[in-house]
């Protein structure tokens, strides 16, 4: 059983080395029970990120670099997953906001054969969120409520950047994925629901990143528009 952990990144020279070292050390020291690779999916960085990626791939045998010529988190994830030949595909955000201790339960949920996909859940009974961004948290609640209503989704957190899926099921839904940006987190869940995938939410500990590249105004407006765009695309399938 092999896992590919994809980290999409754009202009992350300030935290890239530290984050990869933290993840690599954690996987080694925790005796992570699966064969794994770490794919750094650099989507058109204009800073020194690509050079750092190459250096990290020489330092760690499990790390590989993937350079993508166009900006976009969704494009980076879809491209990396499409090129990966493993049993289970995962991704996490470069800031490691999701506590790494929940990576094993995320993967195990799929590895034992009970589920096709596992998603980080920041709003569960056992979840803990450390954040002082009250406005952003309110906008997230409104967004998730809309997704629940419009798509009849049973989940309460569609946006968490901490997900895993079996390669077989990803191949099934891949032709129906088109999101290049931040909406990929939600699109993955909704398209998977439409195709009958079994999805398991995993309550996690999540620590907010003060330097997040997500724009509260611009990206939030765009993702609300994306909800209706996806609803239109899936018309008749819900």
Which residue did the predictor score with more confidence, 61 or 219? 61
* 225 pLDDT above the threshold of 60: yes
pLDDT at 236: 59
Question: How many C-beta atoms lie closer than 10 Å to residue 162's C-beta?
Answer: 26
What mean pLDDT do residues 125-144 have? 90
Average pLDDT, the chain: 94
Which pLDDT score, from 0 to 100, does residue 238 have?
A: 55
pLDDT at 237 exceeding the cut of 70? no
Question: Which of 122, 111, 51 minimizes the C-alpha distance to 86?
Answer: 111
- CA distance linking residue 199 with residue 194, whole number of Å: 11
* pLDDT at residue 212 greater than cutoff 80: no
| Alpha carbon separation from 199 to 46, 97, 161, 222 (Å, rounded) | 36, 21, 15, 26
Q: In this structure, what DSSP letter does residue 155 have?
A: -
Q: Which of 77, 18, 75, 26 is nearest to 49 (CA)?
A: 18
Q: Average pLDDT of 181-198?
A: 97
The reported pLDDT for the residue numbered 213 is 55
Q: Please give the average per-residue pLDDT across 121-149, as a whole number.
A: 92
Mean pLDDT of 140-163: 96
Question: Tens of pLDDT along 45-101?
Answer: 999 999 999 999 999 999 999 999 999 999 999 999 999 999 999 999 999 999 999
């Amino acid at each position: 059983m092999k896992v590919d952990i994809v980290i999409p990144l754009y202009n992350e020279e300030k935290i890239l080395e530290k984050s990869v070292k933290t993840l690599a050390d954690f996987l080694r020291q925790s005796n992570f029970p699966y064969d794994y690779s770490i794919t750094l999916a650099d989507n058109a960085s204009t800073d020194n990120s690509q050079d750092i990626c190459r250096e990290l791939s020489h330092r760690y045998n499990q790390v590989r670099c993937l350079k993508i010529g166009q900006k976009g988190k969704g494009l980076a994830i879809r491209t990396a997953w499409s090129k990966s030949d493993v049993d289970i595909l995962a991704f996490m955000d470069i800031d490691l906001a999701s506590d790494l201790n929940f990576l094993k339960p995320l993967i195990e949920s799929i590895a034992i054969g009970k589920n096709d996909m596992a998603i980080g859940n920041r709003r569960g009974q056992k979840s803990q969120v450390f954040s002082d961004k009250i406005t952003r948290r309110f906008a997230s609640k409104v967004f998730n409520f809309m997704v629940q209503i419009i798509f009849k989704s049973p989940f309460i957190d569609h946006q968490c950047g901490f997900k895993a899926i079996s390669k077989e099921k990803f191949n099934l839904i891949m032709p129906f994925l088109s999101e290049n940006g931040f909406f990929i987190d939600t699109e993955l869940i909704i398209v998977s629901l439409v195709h009958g995938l079994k999805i398991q939410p995993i309550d996690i500990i999540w620590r907010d990143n003060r330097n997040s590249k997500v724009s509260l105004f611009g990206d939030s407006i765009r993702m609300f528009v994306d909800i209706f765009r996806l609803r239109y695309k899936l018309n008749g399938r819900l």
